[in-house]
Amino acid sequence: MKVIDHINQAKDTLISFEILPPLKGKGISAIYNHLDPLMEFKPAFINVTYHRSETMFKKQADGTFNKIEVRKRPGTVGICAAIMQHYNVDPVPHLICGGFTKEETENALIDLAFLGIDNVLVLRGDAAKNETFFEPEPGGNRYAIDLLKQVMDLNHGIYLEEEVKDPGKATFCIGVAGYPEKHFEAPNKATDIAYLKAKVDAGAEYVVTQMFFDNQKYFEFVQNCRMAGIQVPIIPGLKPITNKKQMTILPRIFNVDLPDQLATEIMKCKTDVEVEQVGTAWLLQQSRELKKAGVPVLHYYTLGKPKVIWNVVKELV
């Protein structure tokens, strides 16, 4: 079932989760152990992130170094199939530009269509660790809107090979990312929203936001989007703070601010256990306010902290 159909048919705010594929070498049980406690909340869908490969240099016997590509968290497509079979819940695989040619992307989309997966979230993705700025794979998509247009082409039966006879049409529901505090590369919020509007006009059916810790920034973002003509559902993305390191890591990596009150309370904590308690209480407060405001979905970035998310959502249902 498509995400947009879940939203349109819902009578109340839905719950959804986002997970990471396990590190290479771990089995599917790592996913089940992560998700099992959360399934009592009947999530409408579960997002599964995609991670680009990393370049590493392996020393050879002769002393020289060989450049190799390593994907530390493979398995997104397989995990999505497992989630559908094991839980009967709709998965939403992420698709990224970085590290993939258009041909590889098309083949992944074909696999997803064969599996009966109805949804994708399209993202540009991060720059490689050895790059200052994002560079696409040779023959790949440079921007999220390019990737989106490739998915839309497949929905219209347009393949990279013009010789495909009697091409079947895919039926993907496409989601995109939104940034209440602006994407770090955008010159200003208005430009950032204009980029988002272009993706919606190109076929995106819903938006999932970057994490934020001040609900007012989400509400202002939604208002600005509506004023710009973006009418699709805008799903708030939520993440708990669980340790003091995140006070510097999250603003630096994700370009988000921590409200003064939250930062002050965290600074008072002497241990990460105390930080997690503060973060849990803050996330619950956010969730209650957002649900009261009638948001379509509360989307939780679980990212290794399912117990924290469980403690929050149990107070909402």
Q: Which residue matches tokens 């939604």?
A: 222
Angle CA 220–263–235, to nearest 5: 35
Q: Whole-model pTM?
A: 0.92
Please enumerate in sequence order all residues whose Cβ is within 8 A of that of 148, keeping only pairs 6 or more positions apart, or say none: 122, 174, 176, 199, 202, 203, 204
pLDDT for 132: 72
Q: Are 43 and 89 in contact (CB under 8 A)?
A: yes
pLDDT for 166: 85
Query: Which parts of the chain register pLDDT below 70?
Result: 52-71, 130
The SS3 assignment for 171 reads coil
pLDDT for 58: 62
N-terminal to C-terminal alpha carbon distance within the chain: 23
Tens-place pLDDT, residues 216-227: 999 999 999 999
DSSP state of 160: S
Q: From CA 58, how far away is CA 159, in angstroms rounded?
A: 38
- Segment (H or E) for 141: none
Closest CA to 238 of 182, 156, 295: 295
pLDDT for 292: 98
Q: Are 257 and 251 in contact (CB under 8 A)?
A: yes
Tens-place pLDDT, residues 254-282: 999 999 999 999 999 999 999 999 999 99
pLDDT for 83: 98
Please enumerate in sequence order all residues whose Cβ is within 8 A of that of 159, keeping only pairs 6 or more positions apart, or say none: 106, 153, 167
